[in-house]
Amino acid sequence: MTFDEFLSAAGSKIDEIYQASGAARWSVSVEDFAQAAWKGVGLAAPAEPPEVASLLSGLRAADLALALGCVRGNEKAWDTFCAQYRGALYEAAHSAAHDETTARELADSLLAELYGLDGSAPNRNSRFGYFHGRSSLKTWLRAVLYQKFIDEYRRQSRLAPLADDPVEVSAVDASASEQDDQRYATCLGDAVEASLGELPAPAKLLLSYYYVQGLTLKQIGLLTGEHEATISRHLDTTRKKLRKRIEVFLRQESKLSAFEVDRCLDFAARGALMDMEKALRQK
């Protein structure tokens, strides 16, 4: 069913759910809402008007309207979304990651993607563009966040260096002990401190706000005059640069093997954030 056929078959029903959705308050036009509803019902073949009306009734119209408002760059829509869903998003992230720091980074990164890659554009490149109202916004957010967590896990797995000698790897793994962890902690602390020293002052200040002072993205944005989604992207870029510099330091200065670097970074993921906090406080 083409869009024109869809409008002809369900024009009155579209107007009805548009009014009920509250889309107008987010500056979403009837035309934009109708386009999204057409995609939402997914009609690829001819259908009778009663069938179209039934499919439209199954859409989460209010959720769809709010998502469209966020895509269009309506700040009231974004503030409403954050007020209603930010807490649930952090809870879902914690359920997936089982680590407060990782969960916080995961949720904040997704929030930045939802806000959009170009916050100044009227139709920003936002993840909300993939929401079509067939499920509740909360259900969709949980699915997207969990997939993002899986994708990141797979990416890290692909980037993890392979050991030169599988036999040696087995022996090292079997002999893991408190002494090993102490060694990794020492190497990691040196690497973090040196790598932080190479970062520009604004990047170090941003990390301090987020990790040491525990400020939220919104609180940091109030200090810097930037939107929280922009802050999240800055954090993501800084974390990637920091990790790369840490890996180089561990290989070149600490003389760790590829496998030992992997083990050291795994140790970092298990709780060596305290090293970064200590180093940042000293800067």
- Report yes or no: 127 and 81 within 8 Å, Cβ to Cβ: no
The predicted pLDDT at position 167 comes to: 39
Mean pLDDT by 10 residues, the chain (283 residues): 82 91 94 90 60 84 95 92 92 84 87 74 74 90 87 62 42 50 76 85 86 83 86 86 88 84 67 54 57
pLDDT at 155: 66
Q: What domains does the chain contain, in order, with CATH numbers?
A: 3-68 (no CATH), 78-154 (1.10.1740), 165-282 (no CATH)
Q: Is 156 within 8 Å of 243 (Cβ atoms)?
A: no
Identity (one letter) of the amino acid at 55? L
Side-chain-side CA neighbours of 250 within 13 Å: the count stands at 26
Q: Residue 278: what are its φ and ψ, rounded to 5°?
A: -65, -45
**CB of 189 closer than 8 Å to CB of 279:** yes
Residue 84 and residue 90: Cα distance in Å, rounded? 12
* pLDDT value of position 185: 73
What's residue 163's pLDDT?
43
Are 117 and 125 in contact, with CB atoms under 8 Å apart? yes
Q: What is the pLDDT of residue 60?
A: 93
CB 169 within 8 A of CB 163: yes
Interior/surface letters 20-44, b for 16+ CB within 10 angstroms, e for the rest: ebbbeebebeeebbbebbbbbbebe
- Give the pLDDT of residue 56: 87
pLDDT, tens digit (0-9, with 9 covering 90-100), for 77-106:
999 999 999 999 999 898 888 778 888 888
pLDDT of residue 31: 92
Global pTM value: 0.66
What distance in Å separates the CA atoms of residue 94 and residue 88, rounded to the nearest whole number?
Answer: 10
Helix (H) or strand (E) holding 31: helix 30-41
Q: How far is CA 25 from CA 125, 174, 231, 279, in A?
A: 21, 61, 27, 47
